[in-house]
Each structure stands twice: as C-alpha cells, then as structure tokens.
Amino acid sequence: MRAIWKGSISFGLVSIPVALQNASRTEELKFRLLRKRDLSPVNYRRVAQVDGKEVPWGEIVKGYEYEKGKFVVLKDEDFKRVDLEATDTIDIVDFVDLAQINPVYFHRPYYLEPQKGGASAYNLLRQVLADTNKAGISKVIIRTRQHLAAVKANGNLLVLELMRFADELISPSTIQIVDSKKSSPRELCMAATLVKQMTEDWDPERYTDDYRSALLKLIEKKRKSGGQELPTNGHEAKQATNVIDLASVLQQSLAEASGQKKKGQKSKPKSRRRAA
C-alpha cells in the first residue's frame, strides 16, 4: 500500500520515522448522471460565471475570497511558503486520558507504519499508550492543511486519528431539547433490563451495510428486467414512540428481546463432552 504521507512522530527528544497509511475506505456506490431520453452520460463542465465559457485545467488557479467578489490568488509554492515549522512531523504536545476526549472530536483514522530504524521507539510508545490508556495530542500538516490529531495504541499498531478543532464543532447549546417529565423508576428499570438483554460482546463483523446490499440487489433486478419499473416492497416507516405509551412499549420490547435471546440460544449447537 502506498503511503499518503511520510515523516516522524516527535515527543520530547524522541523522533520516530513513520508512514501514514489509510485505515478506512468508503464503499459508496457511484452513479453517473444521464440524459433521460437516450441515457447519454452528462459530464461536469468547468464554466466561468462571467461569460459562461468552459475553462481548461491549465487556466484554473486557487483564490481566497476575502471580500464579496474580491480574491487573493495563491499558487502551489505559496502553500509551501507558509511559515510553520515541522511540516513533516507529528508533534505530540500533550498526553491526555482517552476517556476525557468527547468522541465527536474524532474524524478519520490512519495507520502509522514504522519506518527503518524506528521499530524500537515505535513499540515503546505504543506500549506506554496502551498501558496508560492515553493518547498523544498532536498537530500535523497533511497536504495543505493542519490537523489536530491523536496518536493512539491499537493492538500492535499506532493509529493517528485526525480530530476536529474546537471551533469546527457547533456548540451543543444551539440544539433545543424539549422539557419532559422525569422518567419513572419503573421505566428506568425496564429500560436498563432491555439494554442488558440486548448487550453483546463487540464484534464489528456482526454489522454490515444492509442498504448498500439491498441497493445492489435492486440494481441487479432492474438489469435483468431490462430497466422496467419494479413493484414497491410495501415497507412502511416505523412510527415514533408515543411518550404516553412509553411503559407499554418498553414492556413489549422486553418480551421481544427475551424471545429473540431464547431463539438464538436454541439455534446454537450443544457442546458434546469428550469421552474420558
């Protein structure tokens, strides 16, 4: 796999050469825009607003709009000229408890791969972070942007997780929460029991993209039918829970969860004892 960035992790006087590798991928289905009458693909055009003429890539520059209709043009060398030190370093400025970081700050994970001569220091940092359950908070410049990031232990690897700066998050105070009556002890007890019944050990393989799979099946059906309209499946959206019926809904949910648990247990093969 080709590294998207190479540099080093720095904390104190320790420097660890690493390469940044993608740790995730997007499995979105891609669709082309087509003209309805003959299914001719429709291309995107780079058109200037002033005269409506198409602009070739060679004539396109990057501009920052500092005032309505007024721009400062930046060239590629201008981005490299920005006066920031350690553009090839993941500079750890603090170590913090992972539990203190609100998950909304985390954005995108990358694997950190140790480079030649860095294995010992790499393993040392990974072990310390794992033992203390801490993250190294750092800043890193990738391409033309500086990111806040957390260096974390993940199994036998170090992971760099890009984060959002505080000013990139909208304040929770902007969200209005309607006042409601306090939950009764009975409702709290039933809700806790339901959570307990539905609790499983974390296994990421249990969860798949059902919507993508269903969409692929629909595409295949339409392909086989020559693009004809298919009958609707008759599915209806689930109705929101009525707060007046909350207790009865919880009771029904408990019964269903209990039934599913029993069904799952019956389907498991019984273990046989070995003969002595």
Domain range for 138 is 5-24+82-168
In a domain, 112, yes or no: yes
In the predicted structure, residue 211 carries a pLDDT above the cut 90? no
The answer to whether 97 and 158 have CB atoms below 8 angstroms apart is: no
Helix (H, G, I), strand (E, B) or coil at 16: strand
In the predicted structure, residue 23 carries a pLDDT above the cut 90? no
CA angle 258, 261, 263 (to 5 degrees): 110
In a domain, 118, yes or no: yes
- pLDDT tier, 77 (very low <50, low <70, confident <90, very high otherwise): confident
pTM recorded for the entire structure:
0.68
Helix (H, G, I), strand (E, B) or coil at 269: coil
Q: What percent of the chain has pLDDT over 90?
A: 24
Mean pLDDT of the chain, nearest integer: 81
Tokens 């232990």, located at residue = 153
- Provide CB contacts within 8 A for 165, sequence distance 6+: 148
What confidence score (pLDDT) does residue 271 get?
43
The Cα diameter of the chain in Å comes to: 89
Helix (H, G, I), strand (E, B) or coil at 127: helix
In the predicted structure, residue 149 carries a pLDDT above the cut 90? yes
Whole-angstrom Cα distance, residue 218 to residue 228?
11
Beta bridge partners of 9: 16, 90
Q: What is the CATH number of the domain that holds 103?
A: 2.40.290.10
In a domain, 196, yes or no: no
Which one, of 249, 251, 252, 232, lies nearest residue 241 by Cα?
Answer: 249
What confidence score (pLDDT) does residue 243 get?
53
The answer to whether 190 and 247 have CB atoms below 8 angstroms apart is: yes
- For the chain, how many structural domains are there in total? 1
Whole-angstrom Cα distance, residue 161 to residue 90?
11
Whole-angstrom Cα distance, residue 8 to residue 121?
11
In a domain, 33, yes or no: no
In a domain, 107, yes or no: yes
In a domain, 235, yes or no: no
